[in-house]
C-alpha cells in the first residue's frame, strides 16, 4: 500500500482566487507531497462560469481536475470549448443532453486511476435529477475503471451534503461539499472510511460576502433593490482538505484541513477607530 494524497479545494472565485492558486498551490503541492489536486471551477471567470483560459491557468498551477456547479453554463459558449476535456466535470445529475460529463478518470504518473464525480444538490437550488441516484450510477461505472474515487457535491444545505456523505460511506475515498463559499469545521472520516467535509469554502478574497464586495451585497439586502455585484478584494484565503488514501482499498486513512493564504483575523484590528492608538 502506498498512501496517496489528494488535496481538494472549493469554489475558486475570479481573479483573487486564481491569483492565490497560482501563487500558493505549486509550493503547497511540493511541500505536502500532494499527488492529485481537485478544485471547483464554477466561479473562475469573473466570479461566474469557466473559460478555457481560466481553466488552463488552474491546470498550469497544479490542479488536475476542475469540478463545477450551478454556474457551469454562465459562459455557455466558453464552457462548450472545454466541455469534452477529461479534466473538467460538471454535475452528473443535469439533463444528459447538457454539455460536458459528470465524472472522469485521470491516470497519474504512477498508474493510479483517480475517478472524480460531481453532483449538484436539490435543496434550496434549481431543479435537478436525483443526486443520490446519479452518484450511485457514476460510482458503479467507476468500480472497474478507477482505483480511487472522490465526489464534489455542490449543494446549499449541509443536511443534504451530510446525507450524501453517509450515502457513499465506504464506497468512495472522499465526499466534499462546495457551493456555499464558507468552510465548515467538520472534516472527518466516516465509519466505513470515507473522508467527509460539509463545505470546503471558497478560494478567493474573504474581505467581502462570499467573494463579492460587501457594500454591494449589503445594499441589496438592506434595500431589496437590484444591485450589480463586484468581486471582493483584500485577504486571500483558500481553505481545503488533504485526504490521505489507502490506494489498495481506495478509502481514506486521514483527512486534514489545510489553508492557502492568510488565516482569518481572530483578534480585533490594531487600528480600530476609537482605540487608544488612534486618540
Binding residues for Fe ion, rule: CB under 5 A, are: 11, 42-43, 69-70, 179
Minimum distance of Fe ion from residue 238's CB (angstroms): 14
Say whether 71 is catalytic.
yes
Considering the complex, state which of residue 35 and residue 42 has its C-beta at the smaller distance from Fe ion.
42
Nearer to Fe ion, 179 or 212 (CB): 179
Shortest reach from residue 42's CB to Fe ion, in Å: 5
Shortest spacing between CB 70 and Fe ion, in angstroms:
4
- Strand 204-205, strand 236-246: pairing: antiparallel
Contact 57, 87 (CB under 8 A): no
> How far is residue 239's CA from residue 263's CA, in Å, rounded to a whole number?
9
| Nearest to Fe ion of 69, 193 (CB atom) | 69
Q: Indicate the residue among 70 and 147 with the shorter CB distance to Fe ion.
A: 70
Phi, psi of 175 (to 5 degrees): -120, 115
Q: Which of 71, 167, 179, 181 is catalytic?
A: 71
The answer to whether residues 28 and 5 touch, using CB atoms and an 8 Å cutoff, is: no
What span, in angstroms and rounded, lies between the C-alpha atoms of 235 and 204? 8
Closest CA to 9 of 202, 155, 192, 179: 202
- Cβ 13 to Fe ion shortest distance, Å: 7
Closest alpha carbon to 155 in 42, 231, 14, 55: 42
Catalytic sites, residue numbers = 71
Amino acid at each position: 500500500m502506498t498512501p496517496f494524497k489528494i488535496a481538494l479545494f472549493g469554489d475558486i472565485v475570479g481573479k483573487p482566487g486564481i491569483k492565490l492558486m497560482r501563487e500558493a498551490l505549486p509550493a503547497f503541492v511540493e511541500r505536502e507531497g500532494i499527488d492529485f489536486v481537485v478544485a471547483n471551477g464554477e466561479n473562475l471567470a469573473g466570479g461566474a462560469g469557466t473559460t478555457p483560459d481560466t481553466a488552463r491557468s488552474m491546470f498550469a498551477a497544479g490542479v488536475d481536475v476542475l469540478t463545477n456547479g450551478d454556474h457551469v453554463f454562465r459562459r455557455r459558449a466558453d464552457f462548450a470549448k472545454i466541455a469534452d476535456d477529461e479534466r473538467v466535470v460538471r454535475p452528473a445529475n443535469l439533463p444528459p443532453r447538457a454539455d460536458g460529463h459528470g465524472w472522469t478518470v485521470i491516470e497519474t504518473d504512477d498508474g493510479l486511476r483517480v475517478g472524480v464525480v460531481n453532483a449538484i444538490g436539490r435543496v434550496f437550488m434549481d431543479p435537478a435529477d436525483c443526486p443520490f441516484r446519479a452518484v450511485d450510477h457514476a460510482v458503479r461505472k467507476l468500480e472497474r475503471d478507477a482505483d480511487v474515487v472522490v465526489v464534489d457535491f455542490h449543494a446549499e444545505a449541509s443536511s443534504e451534503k451530510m446525507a450524501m456523505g453517509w450515502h457513499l460511506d465506504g464506497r468512495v475515498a472522499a465526499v466534499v461539499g462546495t457551493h456555499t463559499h464558507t468552510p465548515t469545521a467538520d472534516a472527518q472520516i466516516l465509519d466505513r472510511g470515507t473522508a467527509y467535509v460539509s463545505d470546503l469554502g471558497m478560494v478567493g478574497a474573504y474581505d467581502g460576502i462570499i467573494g463579492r464586495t460587501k457594500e454591494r451585497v449589503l445594499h441589496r439586502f438592506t434595500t431589496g433593490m437590484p444591485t450589480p455585484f463586484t468581486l471582493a478584494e483584500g485577504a486571500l484565503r483558500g481553505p481545503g482538505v488533504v485526504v490521505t488514501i489507502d490506494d489498495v482499498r481506495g478509502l481514506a486513512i486521514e483527512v486534514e484541513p489545510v489553508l492557502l493564504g492568510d488565516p482569518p483575523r481572530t483578534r480585533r484590528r490594531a487600528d480600530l477607530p476609537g482605540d487608544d492608538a488612534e486618540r
